[in-house]
Amino acid sequence: MNGTLEAMTQQTAPQEVVEQVAPVVVEATIETPLEITTNVETTPTTETSPSNVAVTPETKFDLESYLSEMGLSKQDLDSLKESKLKQKEEADKPLNEQKAWANVIADGIQEGILTKEDVVKYESVSKREDNDLVFEKFKQDFKPSDDTLSQEEIDEEIQDAFKSEYPSQKLIKLEAEKIREEISQPFKSAEQNLTKKQSVLGLKKLHEELLDTMLSSKYQESYKIGDKDIVVELEQQVTKDEVNEALTKTEGGKQLLNIMHSLYNENKEQSAELYRSFVNSIAKEKVQSKIIENVWEQASEYFKGVYSLGAQAPFTSQKIDTTEQGGDGLMELYKKRNN
């Protein structure tokens, strides 16, 4: 089965299978009833005219049936696609890693975390064998027993001292890893700095997209008063500058921004939901007074019933005239009782 799949991929890429298998068009000749005329002999004709030919609609291509005829299944095709995708990712991996590393170096130098000397040294060390790397470091730190020794004698002393210091390949390997770790520290710092910058830019882009969407739609809240469902829908009053200032210029906003940034690296959707709640809280403050007015206007009929003349027993000191029974009158009464 795998051989069949590989053969198919050599001839036709999986995504092109459906495109290259043309839909089947079935043609059928439908005989029309012959017109019968008295004393007239009718001779059937062998010609096929457009009037007596009908074409059925195109039959829908069934991929599973086609694969079944080839001795395959849809799972086989999906597995092949996944395999090809992994092969492409593996083939592109070295190039992608080179690009990522180049970005780390470029940003590290720009930020002053790295120097060109750091880069040259790192490249040199990464290419050297463990023995050469450790021996070179040992040689730099070595001091001869006597300053009058010849260079040949000094070299012999170095060799003997090196073998004494590192009697096994395991010790040499451990020392080589330590040297490489020390040299790589600035690059790790540069990589962490770049990752943080990228995540900050990603969070900033997410906030911009969410804010554009939220400010382009109306502010909406739902209430229930008695038996009446009230939906308040208002134009947004908050601006981008107000949201950004509240997030970056206040202590609470700064703390929230740090939380959202940490959360963004772990769960982008939760970070987005936190930002939506923050914007909604500011938007609600801006439209609070309009919400109350809108709710009152929509609930006026309900309050007419509740505060009708027959319902004024607890408020005998108040008198509602004809004007007050209207929406404006009820609004005034509401303000009197709540101020």
Task: Give 3-state DSSP helix, strand, coil % of the chain, rounded to 5.
Answer: 70, 5, 25
| Token pair for 42 | 């009718």
What does the chain come to in residues? 339
Beta bridge partners, 105, equal none
DSSP 112: T
Token pair listed for 211 = 């804010």
CA distance 202 to 200: 5
pTM of this prediction?
A: 0.53
Taking Cα atoms as reference points, which of 322, 314, 318 lies closest to residue 334? Answer: 318
Q: Alpha-carbon distance 271 to 251, whole Å?
A: 19
Quickly list H helices, 40-168.
Answer: 63-69, 74-111, 116-127, 130-141, 151-165
Reduced to 3 states (helix: H, G, I; strand: E, B; else coil), residue 250 is coil
Over the Cα atoms of the chain, what is R_g?
41
- What CA–CA distance (Å, rounded) separates 81 from 68? 17
Task: Tell me the residue ranges of DSSP E strands in the chain.
Answer: 27-29, 53-55, 219-225, 228-234
Alpha-carbon span 62 to 65, nearest angstrom? 5
Query: Rounded to an integer, what distance in angstroms lies between the CA atom of residue 339 and that of residue 335?
Result: 6
C-alpha span between 166 and 179 (Å, rounded): 15
Q: What is the pLDDT of residue 287?
A: 85
**C-alpha count within 13 angstroms, C-beta hemisphere, residue 174:** 7
pLDDT in tens, the chain (339 residues): 444 445 444 444 444 433 433 333 333 333 434 343 334 444 444 444 444 545 555 666 777 777 777 777 777 778 888 888 888 888 878 888 889 999 999 999 999 999 999 999 999 998 899 999 999 999 999 999 888 889 999 999 999 999 999 999 999 999 999 999 999 999 999 999 999 999 999 999 999 999 999 999 888 888 887 777 888 888 888 999 999 999 999 999 999 999 999 999 889 999 999 999 999 999 888 888 888 887 877 777 666 666 554 444 444 444 444 444 444 554 555 555 555
